[in-house]
Amino acid sequence: MAPSLDRQGYWGRPTSTLDWCEENYVVSFYIAEFWNTVSNLIMILPPICGAILTFRDGLEFRYVCSFLGLAAVGVGSWCFHMTLLYEMQLLDELPMIYSTCVFVYCLYECFKQENNISFIPIALLLIFSVSVTVVYLQWKEPVFHQVMYGALVACLVMRSIFIVTWVYPWLRPLCYTSLGVFLFGFLLWNIDNIFCDTIRASRQTLPPGVGVVTQFHAWWHIFTGLGSYLHILLSLQIRATYLKYRPKVKFLCGVWPTLHIEPQKTS
């Protein structure tokens, strides 16, 4: 995962503990990993739009935080891949833990009274986040972060499957689409890591426009960004259904899914 034939650019030598398979400073002197950087737009713009719509519909603030948390991950990842600096790496990786903790809280507290705040789960998730942060700052081992993040994602997967199996079966398509898209991105992430040398060699023989398609870490951003966005929609739809709202998925510009709450019918 540490490329050996990279160019030097505006941000100098990488100080991060990770350097991905995309060749550094090939597209731009100012962006270390161009495609890994711009692919984060899917984790920035749609979640901001989702946060605005959620706030406009008067839904609970925790879901606004979910969308903004995903956007924060996108911004942090943009800064990390643009610079490959250790400080920016933390700005990418630590918000992944914090935002996923928000996802966990929303999903595990979805069957409570409206605007109810459960302090024990908040305290436990806060302790977990602080502990991971302290350990990771001292022990700069990326695998530790990946395992902690994976544990949180596993909690989301188990809870989601339980809800769509036993409570709201009609939400299975959205649940499994979100999960499938995310796992496909995870598959591409692993391919990019394991077969980096082979992928890099293939790019030397492919036309530039085709070689871009082999930037699998960028695809990881796109698919996991979409999968995470769909998960927030799922969590929000579960909550809105439980509160007897009238949630409805609409497509922005006929393409991008958003959740709208229709006005309550008056008797």
CATH assignment at residue 154: 1.20.1070
Instruction: Evaluate whether residue 29 is within a structural domain.
Output: no
Instruction: Evaluate whether residue 107 is within a structural domain.
Output: yes
Q: What is the pLDDT of residue 3?
A: 47
Average pLDDT of 191-196?
96
> Average per-residue pLDDT in the chain?
93
Which residues, listed in sequence order, are joined to residue 260 by a DSSP beta bridge? 248
**19 belongs to an annotated ligand binding site:** yes
**260 belongs to an annotated ligand binding site:** no
**78 belongs to an annotated ligand binding site:** no
Asked if residue 182 has pLDDT above 80, the reply is: yes
**40 belongs to an annotated ligand binding site:** no
Q: CA-to-CA distance for 177 and 171, rounded, in angstroms?
A: 10
Instruction: Evaluate whether residue 51 is within a structural domain.
Output: yes
**33 belongs to an annotated ligand binding site:** yes
Instruction: Evaluate whether residue 169 is within a structural domain.
Output: yes
Average pLDDT of 206-222?
92
Q: What is the pLDDT of residue 6?
A: 62
Instruction: Evaluate whether residue 73 is within a structural domain.
Output: yes
| Host domain of residue 119 | 34-261
Token duo for residue 159 = 């809870």
Average pLDDT of 165-188?
97
Ordered DSSP codes for 19-42: --SSPTTSSBTTBSSHHHHHGGGG
Asked if residue 266 has pLDDT above 60, the reply is: no
What band does 4 get if pLDDT is binned at 50, 70 and 90?
Answer: very low
**217 belongs to an annotated ligand binding site:** yes
Average pLDDT of 155-182?
97
Q: CA 261 from chain center: how many Å?
A: 24
Asked if residue 247 has pLDDT above 60, the reply is: yes
Instruction: Evaluate whether residue 12 is within a structural domain.
Output: no
Instruction: Evaluate whether residue 243 is within a structural domain.
Output: yes
**116 belongs to an annotated ligand binding site:** no
Q: What is the pLDDT of residue 211?
A: 87
Pick the more confident residue, 113 or 97: 97
What is the value of pTM for the model shown?
0.94
The domain total for the chain is 1
Instruction: Evaluate whether residue 78 is within a structural domain.
Output: yes
What band does 96 get if pLDDT is binned at 50, 70 and 90?
Answer: very high
